[in-house]
Amino acid sequence: MRYLHTMVRVRDLDESLDFYCNKLGLKETRRHENKEGRFTLVYLSAPDDDGPELELTYNWDPEDYGSARNFGHIAYEVDDIYAVCERLESMGVTINRPPRDGHMAFIRSPDQISIELLQRGEPLPPKEPWASKPNIGTW
């Protein structure tokens, strides 16, 4: 058995691709449009990872998916959690759970999917302004 992908439904494909590719740094690996079924599938992966993918499912007809809290979260390991959070914040992404411990942070996608960012290896030493930042909203 091999883990292949995680699927999340998205309301706005362009907004989601901007978030996952331009802000989070994933790359599009393939795309499938099904005119009869009225949906588009876009597969994304981390730049240095040929492993499991994230499948964005865009249904052409509007649907309300709710807050997506029942999904849980997607997790990515990063080389420098402070640098990643700083870059995301500079692009307007809310850091819902800042990396106060130098190890873990949470953000949310435009469709409210929780994304956990984990420091590769040992936690980094606590660092300002992250050590003092409060949680914002839910994750």
Catalytic residue among 28, 86, 89, 116: 116
Q: How far apart are the first and last CA of the chain?
A: 30
- What is the total residue count of the chain? 139
Residue 121's nearest CA partner among 69, 92, 80 is 80
d(CA 133, CA 136): 9
86 among known catalytic residues: no
Residue 5's nearest CA partner among 41, 35, 39 is 41
What SS3 class is residue 21? helix
Catalytic residue annotation: 116
